[in-house]
C-alpha cells in the first residue's frame, strides 16, 4: 500500500464505521477504513439484514399454509433450507457490495485486515500480504459486537450455535433453545419455530453486581419523578 498517512482512520466498517468514514471524506478529510471480514459489519452481514431475509422466507412459508384463507390453493407446502439460507446470504452480499460502492464513490481507502492500535496515532493492520502500519491524526474505533459464550456452553457449530451458525444452519433442529431475547434472538426464535422447530426463548442476564459499600437489603429503588 503506497499511502499510509491519513487524517482519519476508522477501524470497523459496520453502520457506525462506514457512515463515519463517508462523512469524514465528504468534509474533506483523507480517510481510511479497516475491516477484517465483510464491509457493512455484523448488522449487515450477520445480523439485522440476513435475519430479515430469513424471516421473509418464513413469512411466505406461513402464508402458504393459509392459502385457503386467501382463496388460493397450495399442495404440499415445503421448504428447502439450503435455498432459504442461500437467499439470505445473497441479500447480505449484495448490500455489502453497496457499502463498498459508497466508500469508493466518496474516495475512502479500504484496507482489508485485522487492525490494532500501535501507539499514538498509529494502527497496525495484518493483511493477507503481511503487516503494515497506518498513521492518522484521528482514529475512530467502531469494532462493534461479538458473540458471547456461556461457561460450559462454548459454541461448537453442532450442539451449541452462535448467531453465525444460526444464519447458516447445517440442519433444521427438532428442538431449539435460544438464549437471549433481544431483537435478533427473537427473530431467530420466530424463524426456526415457523419452519417447524420446537423453539424456546430464554433471556439471560449477568449476575447482579453488588453496590459498593452497600448491602443489598439497604438498597432501594428510587421513585421516578417528572417535571414539566
Please tell me whether residue 49 adopts helix, strand or coil conformation.
helix
- The number of helices, as runs of H, and strands, as runs of E, in the chain is 6, 8
Write down the pLDDT at residue 150.
83
Phi, psi of 71 (to 5 degrees): 75, 25
Strand order in the sheet with 114-117: 109-112, 31-35, 5-11, 130-141, 122-127, 114-117
Separation CA 188–CA 167 (nearest Å): 8
Domains of the chain (ranges; CATH) run 5-141 (3.50.50.60), 148-206 (3.50.50.60)
CA proximity to 47, closest of 144, 179, 172, 192: 144
Under DSSP, the state recorded for 206 is P
CA angle 56, 60, 66 (to 5 degrees): 145
Other CB atoms within 10 Å distance of the CB of residue 125: 23
Per-residue pLDDT of the chain (228 residues; tens, 9 = 90+): 567 899 999 999 999 999 999 999 999 999 999 999 999 998 899 988 999 999 999 999 999 999 999 999 998 899 999 999 999 999 999 999 999 999 999 999 999 999 999 999 999 999 998 999 999 999 999 998 777 788 888 999 999 999 999 999 999 999 999 998 888 889 999 999 999 999 999 887 655 544 444 444 443 444 444 343
Separation CA 71–CA 141 (nearest Å): 54
Write down the pLDDT at residue 203.
84
Helix (H) or strand (E) holding 53: helix 48-64
| 5 within 8 A of 61, measured Cβ to Cβ | no
Amino acid at each position: 500500500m503506497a499511502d499510509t498517512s491519513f487524517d482519519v482512520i476508522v477501524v470497523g466498517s459496520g453502520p457506525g464505521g462506514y457512515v463515519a468514514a463517508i462523512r469524514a471524506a465528504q468534509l474533506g478529510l483523507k480517510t481510511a477504513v479497516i475491516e477484517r471480514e465483510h464491509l457493512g459489519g455484523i448488522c449487515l452481514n450477520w445480523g439485522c439484514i440476513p435475519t430479515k431475509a430469513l424471516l421473509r422466507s418464513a413469512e411466505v412459508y406461513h402464508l402458504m399454509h393459509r392459502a385457503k384463507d386467501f382463496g388460493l390453493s397450495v399442495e404440499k407446502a415445503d421448504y428447502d433450507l439450503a435455498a432459504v439460507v442461500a437467499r439470505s446470504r445473497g441479500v447480505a452480499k449484495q448490500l455489502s457490495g453497496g457499502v463498498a460502492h459508497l466508500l469508493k464513490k466518496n474516495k475512502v481507502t479500504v484496507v482489508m485486515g485485522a487492525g490494532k492500535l500501535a501507539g499514538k496515532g498509529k494502527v497496525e493492520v495484518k493483511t493477507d500480504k503481511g503487516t503494515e502500519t497506518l498513521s492518522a491524526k484521528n482514529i475512530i474505533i467502531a469494532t462493534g459486537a461479538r458473540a458471547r459464550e456461556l461457561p460450559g456452553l462454548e459454541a461448537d457449530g453442532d450442539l451449541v450455535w452462535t448467531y453465525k451458525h444460526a444464519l447458516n444452519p447445517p440442519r433444521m433442529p427438532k428442538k431449539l433453545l435460544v438464549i437471549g431475547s433481544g431483537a435478533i434472538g427473537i427473530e431467530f426464535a420466530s424463524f426456526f419455530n415457523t419452519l417447524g422447530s420446537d423453539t424456546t426463548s430464554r433471556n439471560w442476564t449477568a449476575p447482579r453486581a453488588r453496590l459498593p459499600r452497600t448491602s443489598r437489603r439497604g438498597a432501594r429503588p428510587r421513585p421516578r419523578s417528572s417535571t414539566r
